[in-house]
């Protein structure tokens, strides 16, 4: 099948989060399965800085934005180590900016105009570039107008006849909501600005538009697909989502094991690499290496707990900070934190590290190499998130024999099997989870994990079971391919009636 990926991010060209990982990896895996994906995204400044040669296509595009015509151009490249073509919509005024969506903590005021232009240019690329497309896979609010265009302005054009669309919601909290008068920029009839279709509490909502008009909806885990049907995780869109619940599917994101694999990890080097058969020797060596790098005492007898990511309430760092403060004076354990985020956590975590340098090490930065070394050297990985649509670090941790401790929400609930007497007995346990969003629940779960850590037999079983899991993109890509086929067949059947 020929699939057009309409997305604002695709690694390694541009990435601000999981969206970039998905749209950089899923098309490559679909191509391996025999499908023909094409990716189209804005030519952000980061695209030009990615170090990958971009070809000029010589093809330009002109689309109406409100009362004016706006002209852009298409560039071309391939996703690395693949034959998957990537086209970039170039317009310097819209996309040549320091960041893709915001500056100094504020969204760009013309984001509606920017992504109206991108959405229409993405669709116009089909005839202008001669693309053979069976289905358009849209991602998040930035491409949320495309399903509406396919059912309205583009419905009567032969090259778009009955062309189905799927919208993937990577994080429902990001909705693309704009001033209602921005509706005029879209070119769509004002009759669609109503509470059932494009209007959201008086504003124009790109995400609600996509939810309403797409032929199928997906999100990035089965549990998250259920959670977003109800408050609070529905973020006010429960009505629209419940109305489309029959076409909503949750598909877990995959992991690129070419990058995240302790047996081949380039950041570890041959001397520290390990697999499920050799972790007993080399994982302790990775732990000692991490302790040296972080300035912690080299101790193999204490558990080393780690967290990597955005330092924010959503990621549960309020719980982590409270437990760290208590444990630093009461429990013999070490902590490693890597990330940036809210200033209050920079201050609180930095202070804890200064007060307890023998037990707490904090790096307020982003380092890909250090993230890999932490996954390899830590004993436990903490993800006590308020909500987590999918999550990737817990999947990395499983592969690296670093036992995840998570709150049972979203993709965390779908990928980590809580260690209980029954799951330990049947060999399915891979980590520890809890439900109540409280520091007490996290502390009790960590105490349970530390008791298991003290039993070498139990701990080795948890590590080995986790490392043998397969969360590669293959299963996810097959699930998407099946959904593509079902959606296309259903759309063609409806068009024929």
pLDDT tens-place string over residues 64-88:
999 999 999 999 999 999 999 999 9
- Do you find a cis peptide bond into 232, omega within 30 degrees of 0? yes
In a domain, 270, yes or no: no
**pTM, full prediction:** 0.93
CB 276 within 8 A of CB 399: no
Euclidean distance between CA atoms 33 and 484, whole angstroms: 13
426 with 488, same domain: the answer is no
In a domain, 262, yes or no: no
Question: Which residues 6+ apart lie within 8 Å of 271 measured at CB?
Answer: 285
| Residue 91: C-alpha distances to residues 95, 99, 140, 176, 311 (Å) | 6, 15, 21, 20, 33
Residue 219's pLDDT is 98
Q: What is the pLDDT of residues 18-46, one digit of tens each?
A: 899 899 999 999 999 999 999 999 999 99
Residue 103: enclosing H or E segment and its boundaries?
strand 102-103
Percentage of residues of the chain with pLDDT beyond 70: 100
CATH of the domain at 25: 3.40.50.2000
Pairing of strands 380-383, 304-308: parallel
Euclidean distance between CA atoms 126 and 34, whole angstroms: 21
In a domain, 271, yes or no: no
123 with 143, same domain: the answer is yes
In a domain, 267, yes or no: no
227 with 336, same domain: the answer is no
CB 167 within 8 A of CB 214: yes
Strand, coil or helix: what is 249? strand
CB 419 within 8 A of CB 462: yes
In a domain, 54, yes or no: yes
The number of beta carbons lying within 10 Å of the beta carbon of residue 415 is 24
370 with 479, same domain: the answer is no
Residue 200's pLDDT is 98
- Do you find a cis peptide bond into 450, omega within 30 degrees of 0? no
70 with 219, same domain: the answer is yes
In a domain, 160, yes or no: yes
Euclidean distance between CA atoms 79 and 23, whole angstroms: 10
9 with 132, same domain: the answer is yes
- Determine phi and psi for 79, rounding to 5 degrees: -65, 135
In terms of residue numbers, what domain contains 318? Answer: 279-470
170 with 146, same domain: the answer is yes
Euclidean distance between CA atoms 52 and 47, whole angstroms: 8
Euclidean distance between CA atoms 185 and 48, whole angstroms: 28
48 with 152, same domain: the answer is yes
Residue 497's pLDDT is 73
Domains: count for the chain: 2
Pairing of strands 380-383, 403-407: parallel
448 with 491, same domain: the answer is no
212 with 151, same domain: the answer is yes
Looking at the predicted structure, is the pLDDT value of residue 496 above 90?
Answer: no
334 with 238, same domain: the answer is no
CB 270 within 8 A of CB 278: no
In a domain, 265, yes or no: no
Strand, coil or helix: what is 270? coil
Query: Tokens 């298409």 sit at which residue?
Result: 74
212 with 66, same domain: the answer is yes
List 294's β-bridge partners, or say none: none
In a domain, 268, yes or no: no
Mean pLDDT over residues 260-281, rounded?
96
């Amino acid at each position: 099948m020929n699939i057009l990926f309409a997305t604002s991010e695709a690694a390694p060209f541009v990435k601000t989060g999981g969206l970039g990982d998905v749209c950089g990896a899923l098309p490559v895996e679909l191509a391996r399965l025999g499908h023909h994906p094409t990716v189209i995204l804005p030519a952000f400044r980061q695209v030009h800085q990615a170090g990958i040669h971009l070809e000029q296509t010589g093809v330009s595009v002109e689309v109406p934005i409100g009362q004016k015509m706006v002209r852009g151009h298409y560039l071309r490249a391939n996703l690395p180590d693949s034959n998957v073509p990537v086209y970039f919509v170039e317009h310097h005024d819209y996309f040549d900016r320091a960041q893709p969506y915001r500056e100094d903590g504020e969204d760009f005021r013309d984001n509606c105009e920017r992504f109206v232009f991108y959405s229409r240019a993405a669709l116009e690329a089909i005839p202008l570039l001669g693309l053979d497309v069976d289905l358009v896979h849209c991602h998040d609010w930035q491409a949320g107008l495309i399903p509406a265009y396919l059912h309205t302005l583009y419905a009567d054009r032969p090259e778009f006849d009955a062309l189905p669309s799927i919208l993937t919601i990577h994080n429902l909290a990001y909705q693309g909501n704009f001033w209602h008068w921005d509706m005029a920029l879209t070119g769509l009839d004002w009759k669609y600005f109503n509470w059932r279709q494009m209007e959201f509490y008086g504003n124009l909502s790109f995400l609600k538009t996509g939810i309403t008009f797409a032929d199928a909806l997906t999100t990035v885990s089965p549990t998250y697909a259920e959670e977003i049907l109800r408050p609070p995780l529905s973020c006010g869109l429960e009505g629209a989502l419940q109305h489309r619940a029959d076409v909503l599917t949750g598909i877990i994101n995959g992991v690129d094991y070419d990058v995240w694999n302790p047996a081949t990890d380039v950041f570890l080097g041959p001397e520290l690499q390990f697999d499920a058969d050799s972790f007993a020797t080399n994982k302790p060596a990775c732990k000692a290496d991490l302790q040296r790098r972080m300035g912690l005492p080299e101790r193999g007898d204490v558990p080393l707990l780690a967290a990597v990511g955005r330092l924010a309430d959503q990621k549960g760092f309020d719980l982590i900070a409270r437990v760290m403060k208590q444990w630093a004076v009461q429990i013999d354990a070490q902590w490693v934190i890597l990330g940036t985020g809210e200033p209050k956590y920079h201050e609180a975590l930095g202070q804890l590290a200064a007060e307890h340098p023998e037990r707490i090490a904090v790096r307020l930065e982003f380092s890909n190499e250090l993230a890999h070394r932490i996954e390899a050297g830590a004993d436990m990985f903490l993800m006590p998130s308020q909500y987590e649509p999918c999550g990737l670090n817990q999947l990395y941790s499983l592969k690296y024999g670093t036992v995840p401790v998570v709150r049972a929400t979203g993709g965390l609930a779908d990928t980590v099997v809580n260690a209980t007497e029954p799951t330990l007995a049947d060999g399915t346990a891979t980590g520890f989870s809890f439900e109540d969003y409280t520091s007490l629940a996290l502390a009790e779960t960590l105490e349970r994990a530390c008791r298991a850590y003290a039993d070498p037999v139990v701990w080795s079983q948890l590590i080995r079971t986790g490392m043998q899991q397969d969360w590669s993109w293959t299963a996810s890509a097959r699930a998407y391919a099946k959904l593509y086929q079902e959606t296309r067949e259903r759309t063609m059947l409806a068009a024929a009636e």
